[in-house]
Amino acid sequence: MTSAHPSPPLGDKLRWRKELRQRRAGLHPPQRHAAAKQIVAWARSAGLLRRGRRLAAYVPTGSECSSWPLILAAQHHGCRVYLPVVPRRGRKLSFVRFDEHAVWQLGAYGIPEPRHVEHCSARALDIVFVPFVGIDTALRRLGQGGGYYDTTFHFRRGRKHWRRPLLVGIGFDCQRVDVLPADRWDLALDLLITESGIYRRPV
């Protein structure tokens, strides 16, 4: 996965975030649209969008890969879709149902969040589609730096057999690198889906 771009020093997360955000922001709208559609095709082919599953996604902001085609496809296939709500205190996300009854409100960081009577705990979700700034060959995720996903799914670290929910990163090929700096609390994903295919975490 060697990149043509010069790489920041391995331990410098701030410079990695800057570099990878620039790569992501440099994609043209047709590239973004095509990638988002292809990600849906890959998710379908992998059997991830099965009726009755509880799936969480995210509201895309800035130059993040749009999750809306995936969200709409999941609903079409009979999945129950939930979106994250950032807490006023602490770093554990809650997940709120997104359907025709959801009402939007402006949440933390100016990100829209749904309001709905139905919530789902992180442990009860089947699949979580996760955004990222960068990801490496070991599927170590570099996020925005807030630690919300790392904290919310910390319980996954001690599991050897039951591994629900499945953590699936969705993004662009330009966000992939060979090795990223990682701390012991950083989240590793189970699967990665980009426009070019599906990638599993090495065993």
Of 194 and 145, the one with more pLDDT = 194
The per-residue DSSP string of the chain comes to ---SSPPPPTT-HHHHHHHHHHHHHTS-HHHHHHHHHHHHHHHHHTT-S-TT-EEE-----TTSPP-HHHHHHHHHTT-EEEEEE--SSSS--EEEE-STT-EEEE-GGG-EEEE-S-EE-GGG-SEEEE--SEE-TT-BEE--SS-HHHHHTGGGGG-SS--PSEEEEE--GGGB-S-----TT--B-SEEEETTEEEEPP-
**What pLDDT digit, counting tens, does each position of 117-151 carry?**
999 999 999 999 999 999 999 999 999 888 899 99
Domains, the chain, with CATH or none: 30-200 (3.40.50.10420)
Per-chain mean pLDDT for the chain: 90
When pLDDT is averaged across residues 8-14 and rounded to a whole number, the result is 69
pLDDT confidence bin for 202, thresholds 50/70/90? confident
